[in-house]
């Protein structure tokens, strides 16, 4: 009888510790992103994000980019202007601290640095093409439909957060994860961060967003 009680007591103790362990594990993701909890209805969130994407034909915004490199003591901070137009037109114009321009237009990339414009065919470079597709998909919200990533959704007081873990080998070789933050008010992309395996990351935050504004085609050239 004593032995039976001892066994039962041990089982209860093990189950208690196991439950505590499960609770602790379930909180790890929350600890990674303070202020966020797992989204209760991921499908509903994706539908809202898709609805915003369908209604958005163009976007104009200011942006702030923070680049963290472990070899540097301070982060590199840049600011500028951003334009997007359906289907695949992007313009990133860096204004401070240096002037730099990146334009993505129908499979072509234009980079303007020190007054000189270089043109690239994105299809000729697999990595460049993937980065381009990633940027477009992140801004448009289409990335939430991609089978190339394992996606987990979180919810905060003002933002939704999608954590993307790459599944393709060539992306897994240099990208640890991608975080995309969506504004709860309109489901537009508010911020995204791409973290490399080294821990270095690039984070872009959008502000003063204007949707469905009239944009001239000349914006999406290398000028």
Give residue-wise pLDDT tens across range 49-70.
888 888 888 889 999 999 999 8
What backbone phi and psi angles, to 5 degrees, belong to 187? Answer: 65, 20
Nearest Cα neighbor of 190 from 164, 213, 160, 163 is 160
Greatest pairwise CA separation for the chain in angstroms: 88
pLDDT of residue 22: 37
Q: pLDDT band at residue 14, thresholds of 50, 70 and 90?
A: very low
User: Is it the case that residue 15 has pLDDT exceeding 70?
Assistant: no
Judged against a pLDDT cut of 70, whether residue 182 lies above it is answered with: yes
Write down the pTM of the prediction.
0.78
Q: Where are the alpha helices (DSSP H) in the chain?
A: 2-32, 42-55, 126-140, 169-172
SS3 181: strand
Tell me the mean pLDDT in the region 79-105: 88
Exposed, middle or buried: residue 17 (CB in 10 Å: 0-12, 13-18, 19+)? exposed
CA dihedral of residues 144, 188, 44, 178 (deg, nearest 10)? 30
- Cβ proximity of 197 and 176 under 8 Å: yes
Length of the chain: 223
The count of other CB atoms within 10 Å of the CB of residue 184 is 16
What pLDDT is attached to residue 161?
92
Across 1-5, 101-105, 106-110, 157-161, least confident range: 1-5
30 or 222, which is more confident?
Answer: 222
CA angle 179, 180, 185 (to 5 degrees): 145
Interval 19-40 mean pLDDT: 58
Name the 3-class secondary structure at 115: coil
**pLDDT surpasses 60 at 206:** yes
181 within 8 A of 207, measured Cβ to Cβ? no
CA distance 179 to 189: 11
Give tens-digit pLDDT for 183-196: 999 888 899 898 99
Q: How far apart are CA 180 and CA 9, in angstroms?
A: 47
Q: What is the CATH number of domain 35-220?
A: 2.50.20.10
């Amino acid at each position: 009888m004593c032995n039976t009680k001892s066994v039962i007591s041990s089982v209860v103790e093990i189950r208690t510790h196991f439950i505590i362990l499960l609770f602790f594990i379930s909180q790890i993701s929350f600890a990674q992103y303070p202020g966020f909890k797992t989204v209760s209805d991921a499908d509903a969130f994706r539908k809202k994000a898709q609805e915003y994407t369908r209604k958005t034909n163009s976007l104009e915004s200011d942006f702030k980019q923070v680049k963290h490199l472990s070899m540097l003591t301070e982060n590199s901070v840049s600011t500028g202007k951003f334009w997007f137009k359906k289907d695949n037109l992007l313009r990133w114009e860096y204004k401070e601290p240096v002037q730099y321009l990146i334009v993505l237009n129908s499979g072509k990339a234009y980079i303007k640095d020190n007054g000189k414009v270089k043109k690239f065919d994105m299809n000729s470079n697999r990595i460049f093409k993937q980065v381009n597709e990633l940027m477009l998909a992140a801004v448009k919200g289409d990335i939430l439909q991609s089978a190339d990533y394992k996606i987990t959704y979180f919810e905060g007081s003002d933002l939704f957060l999608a954590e993307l873990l790459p599944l393709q080998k060539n992306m897994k070789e240099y990208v640890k994860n991608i975080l995309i933050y969506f504004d709860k008010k309109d489901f537009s992309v508010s911020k995204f961060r791409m973290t490399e395996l080294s821990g270095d990351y690039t984070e872009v935050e959008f502000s003063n967003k204007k949707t469905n504004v009239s944009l001239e085609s000349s914006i999406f050239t290398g000028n």
